[in-house]
C-alpha cells in the first residue's frame, strides 16, 4: 500500500527503501528523515485510497495525528498571517489535550512543550522554516565537506573557500552575472532569453527590459515546475479550491509570471 502509492515527482519517495520490522511487540518504520516527512504528509491520502478512513475516524490516535500534521504544515509555510498564528496556538492546545487522552500511558517529551512557543516565535521572527535548525545545517554542510588541502590557519581556510564558493555561484569567467542567477533569495533553473517583443504580450511586464523563460523556479523554498498544479484561491484553507496547471514561467528582474490553465476539480477532501 505504501510502496505502490504515487508520490510527488520532486519528493523523496519511501516506496523503494521503506521497511517494517517488529521488535519488542512494536512495529517500527525504517526510512530516511526526508522519506518519513513525505510519508507523514501523504498517509491520510494513502489510507483514504485503502478505504481505512472510516475505521479511523473515531480514533483519538488518528485525530491526534491529523492535528500534528496540521501543525507541521503551518510550521513549514513560507508566509503566515496573524490569523494563522492564532489558529496554530489553538491547534497546539487541542493536540496536547488529544495526545493525553489518546496516549495516557505515554509521557510527554520536551519537544511537546516547545510547540507551545511556536506562535510567539513566529510573531517575533517570522515563519518557522527560516529559523529552523535545518537551515543552519545546510549552511554548515559546506564546511563539513572540506577535509583536505587546508592551510595551517583553519579559520582562514574556511573563510577563503566560502568566499570563492559564493563568487563562483554569482559570476562567470567573464566577470558577469550568470544566466541562472538573477537575484538573491530565489532559484531559477536553466533560463533562456526571449525576444524583446515578447514582453508586449504581458501587460504586467516592462517591454524595455530583458525577458526570460524557464521551466522551474524556487520561490521562498517552494519549487514550481511546468506541468505542476497550484492552488489559485487567495485563502490558506479554502473550502472550494481552484487549481491551475502551470504552462509557462516568465521571469523579468524580480517578477515571476505564471501562465496557468484552469483545472476542473472533480472531488476534493480537506483531509
Per residue of the chain (271 residues), give pLDDT as tens. Answer: 666 677 766 666 665 555 555 555 565 667 777 778 888 888 888 887 777 777 787 889 889 999 999 998 888 888 888 888 999 999 999 999 999 999 887 888 888 899 999 989 888 888 888 787 777 777 777 777 777 777 888 888 888 888 887 777 766 555 555 554 444 457 777 778 877 666 666 666 777 777 888 888 887 667 889 999 888 876 555 667 888 999 989 888 778 888 899 988 887 766 5
Nine cell digits for residue 20: 517494517
Q: Domain span at residue 264? A: 184-271
Residue 262 lies in a domain: yes
Residue 75 lies in a domain: yes
How many domains would you assign to the chain? Answer: 2
- Same domain? For 42 and 116 the reply is yes
Q: Tell me what pLDDT residue 3 has.
A: 66
Residue 190 lies in a domain: yes
Distance CA 251, CA 183 (A): 11
Q: Which residues contact 164 (CB under 8 A, 6 or more apart)?
A: none
Q: Tell me what pLDDT residue 202 has.
A: 62
- Same domain? For 111 and 192 the reply is no
Distance CA 137, CA 77 (A): 19
State which of 93, 125, 157 marks the end of a domain: 125
State which of 101, 125, 149 marks the end of a domain: 125
Q: Tell me what pLDDT residue 34 has.
A: 76
Residue 166 lies in a domain: no
Q: Tell me what pLDDT residue 180 has.
A: 47
- Same domain? For 120 and 35 the reply is yes
Q: Tell me what pLDDT residue 53 has.
A: 77
Residue 173 lies in a domain: no
Residue 136 lies in a domain: no
Residue 7 lies in a domain: no
Amino acid at each position: 500500500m505504501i510502496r505502490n502509492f504515487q508520490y510527488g515527482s520532486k519528493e523523496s519517495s519511501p516506496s523503494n527503501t521503506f521497511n517494517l520490522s517488529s521488535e519488542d511487540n512494536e512495529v517500527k518504520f525504517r526510512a530516511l528523515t526526508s522519506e518519513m516527512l513525505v510519508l507523514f504528509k501523504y498517509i491520510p491520502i494513502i489510507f483514504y485510497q485503502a478505504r481505512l478512513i472510516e475505521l479511523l475516524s473515531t480514533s483519538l490516535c488518528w485525530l491526534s495525528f491529523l492535528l500534528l500534521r496540521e501543525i507541521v504544515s503551518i510550521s513549514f509555510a513560507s508566509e503566515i498571517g496573524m490569523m494563522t498564528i492564532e489558529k496554530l496556538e489553538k491547534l497546539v492546545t487541542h493536540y496536547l489535550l488529544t495526545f493525553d487522552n489518546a496516549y495516557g500511558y505515554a509521557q510527554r517529551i520536551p519537544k511537546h512543550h516547545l510547540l507551545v512557543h511556536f506562535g510567539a516565535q513566529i510573531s517575533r521572527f517570522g515563519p518557522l522554516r527560516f529559523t529552523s535548525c535545518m537551515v543552519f545545517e545546510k549552511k554548515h554542510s559546506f564546511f563539513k565537506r572540506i577535509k583536505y588541502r587546508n592551510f595551517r590557519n583553519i579559520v582562514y581556510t574556511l573563510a577563503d573557500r566560502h568566499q570563492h564558493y559564493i563568487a563562483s555561484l554569482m559570476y562567470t569567467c567573464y566577470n558577469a552575472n550568470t544566466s541562472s542567477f538573477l537575484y538573491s533569495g530565489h532559484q531559477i533553473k536553466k533560463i533562456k532569453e526571449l525576444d524583446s517583443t515578447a514582453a508586449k504580450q504581458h501587460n504586467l511586464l516592462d517591454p524595455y527590459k530583458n525577458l526570460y523563460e524557464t521551466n522551474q523556479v524556487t520561490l521562498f523554498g517552494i519549487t514550481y515546475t511546468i506541468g505542476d498544479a497550484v492552488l489559485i484561491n487567495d485563502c490558506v484553507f479554502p473550502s472550494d479550491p481552484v487549481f491551475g496547471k502551470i504552462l509557462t514561467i516568465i521571469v523579468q528582474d524580480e517578477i515571476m509570471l505564471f501562465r496557468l490553465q484552469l483545472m476542473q476539480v472533480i472531488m476534493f477532501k480537506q483531509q
